[in-house]
């Protein structure tokens, strides 16, 4: 399945980028080009990154709450 139409990158290529160490959309873009042109596919790229990353290696970003004075 194509993940990035602009660069003709498949989910398999994104998966291979993750297996080679990519853990973010920017790292995937560096390795295979997905998400580096128009950006419309970044959500799909991130979904493939998440699905391809072993649970033990996933980074969880917690929301930062704004402080009120």
For 36-63, give the DSSP string: SSS-TTHHHHHHHHHHHS-GGG---PPP
pLDDT in tens, 18-61: 999 998 999 999 999 999 999 999 999 999 999 998 878 776 66
What is the pLDDT at residue 68?
73
CATH level 3 topology of 2-57: Arc Repressor Mutant, subunit A (1.10.10)
What is the pLDDT at residue 3?
95
Q: Which of the four pLDDT bands, split at 50, 70 and 90, describes residue 62? A: low
Domain spans of the chain, in order of start: 2-57
Q: Which two tokens stand for residue 12?
A: 């398999």
What is the pLDDT at residue 69?
65
Asked if 52 and 23 count as a contact pair (C-beta separation under 8 A), the reply is no
What is the pLDDT at residue 22?
92
What is the pLDDT at residue 66?
75
């Amino acid at each position: 399945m194509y993940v990035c139409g602009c660069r003709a990158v498949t989910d398999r290529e994104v998966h291979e980028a993750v297996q080679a160490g990519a853990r973010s959309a920017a790292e995937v873009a560096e390795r295979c080009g997905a998400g580096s042109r128009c950006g419309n596919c970044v959500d799909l790229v991130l979904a493939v990154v998440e699905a391809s990353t072993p649970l033990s290696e996933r980074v969880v970003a917690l929301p930062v709450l704004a402080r009120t004075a």
